[in-house]
Structure 1
Amino acid sequence: MTSGVKMGQIEWAMWANEQAIVSSSIIILGGILGVAGFFKGWEIGIYAIVAGVLVFVLEYPRGKRLKGRTQERMFQKYFTKLLSCCGPVSRNYFVRFIMHLILCIPMCFILATIMGGISLFTTAMIYLVAAFKGEEWKPVGLEEKTESTAKLDAKSFRQPKMPPPRAPPSANQI
């Protein structure tokens, strides 16, 4: 893992996470179409709905960014607690790459879910790049604030009580 982020360096996992959220919605919609549209392989539609929900639950919590602040999603804390219990299985992007790759294969067999399968394949490839770059998922929002950091946060947003010092007026200004 790299110690710092250089200017212009891409955090691939962040892009893969957003791609996975979009992929899960495409997969679920394709699964619903596959079941409701009476496709020949409607069973794959049911599989796609279950796989889409699984991908959504796995990918909903954003990981901590290397540089800057991480914007948490609404209700992310509950999913983060669930994923942090899984240990290295949820943190390693090679595992996510393999999981997404295996999940996308059956979706390429009916027309209704092929777009979701291709989208999930793209997500898997981005996670492969993130894994080779040494990135790792770290939970965000579970850290408890200590007294010193809470005081620091509260102190940094207070309004000043006195105006800043000014230079004495010179003879030319009077």
Structure 2
Amino acid sequence: MTSGVKMGQIEWAMWANEQAIVSSSIIILGGILGVAGFFKGWEIGIYAIIAGVLNTRENVSEILYETFELLWACVQELFLRFIMHLILCIPMCFILATIMGGISLFTTAMIYLVAAFKGEEWKPVGLEEKTESTAKKDAKSFRQPKMPPPRAPPSANQI
């Protein structure tokens, strides 16, 4: 997730990702309440449901990558994630049903901002190139032992 993080340091970007998932569930619930409760401005509830669902979908990132590779490169930048989440949270602060989700998404944006200032960067998992030394380590396997290890004969005191 991050590069050069030492033991005991906080990985802010990872925390922001977890906060974004929690925010999405709060946003979806608030959106449902906003639409079902016929709040004034219930259209924001529909926006909140769509934003919450899109924020939790892993497939969205794959679709973005395939169709908008330049946009995907920008989304990888934590400062731009801060801006994106900040813009997403603004409409949710206009009705009572979605204000908690908006505040939660604002918190997510602030954590992304801290991660950007700390110099963390997002790297996709599983796309690392294998070097020759890691390929040899992966190919090496241990065989199951055929005989039990030798044991000392029991002494008269143990019997």
TM bin, normalised by shorter chain, reads 0.7 to 0.9
Higher helix share: 2
Q: Deviations over 1:48-80 (max 9, x none)?
A: 1111122223xx4xxxxxxxxxxxxxxxxx566
Q: Is the 8 A contact 2:93 2:103 kept in 1?
A: yes
Query: How big is the alpha-carbon RMSD for the aligned residues of Structure 1 and Structure 2?
Result: 3.0
Equivalents in 2 of 1:163, 1:147: separation in Å?
Answer: 34
Matched residue type, 1:120:
L
**1:27 is the counterpart of 2:12:** no
Identity %: 84
Counterpart of 1:130? 115
Counterpart of 1:93? 78
CA apart distance, 1:142? 3.6
Listed as ranges, the gaps of 5+ residues in structure 1 are 61-77, 170-174
CA apart distance, 1:88? 2.2
Counterpart of 1:54? 54
Matched residue type, 1:19:
Q
Equivalents in 1 of 2:98, 2:15: separation in Å?
Answer: 22
Normalization by structure 1: what TM-score? 0.71
Equivalents in 1 of 2:142, 2:60: separation in Å?
Answer: 30
Q: Is the 8 A contact 2:54 2:60 kept in 1?
A: no
Normalization by structure 2: what TM-score? 0.77
**1:155 is the counterpart of 2:137:** no
Higher alpha-carbon deviation: 91-100 or 147-156: 147-156
Name the CA shift for 1:113/1:89 in 2 (closer, same or farther; >3 Å): same
Q: Is the 8 A contact 1:90 1:137 kept in 2?
A: no
Equivalents in 2 of 1:3, 1:40: separation in Å?
Answer: 46
Equivalents in 2 of 1:41, 1:141: separation in Å?
Answer: 43
CA apart distance, 1:141? 2.5
Q: Is the 8 A contact 1:13 1:127 kept in 2?
A: yes
Equivalents in 2 of 1:140, 1:132: separation in Å?
Answer: 22
Bigger radius of gyration: 2
Name the CA shift for 1:3/1:20 in 2 (closer, same or farther; >3 Å): closer
Q: Is the 8 A contact 2:3 2:120 kept in 1?
A: no
Q: Is the 8 A contact 2:35 2:45 kept in 1?
A: yes
Equivalents in 2 of 1:163, 1:79: separation in Å?
Answer: 53
CA apart distance, 1:3? 5.5
Name the CA shift for 1:162/1:90 in 2 (closer, same or farther; >3 Å): farther
Counterpart of 1:37? 37
Name the CA shift for 1:144/1:165 in 2 (closer, same or farther; >3 Å): farther
CA apart distance, 1:153? 2.9
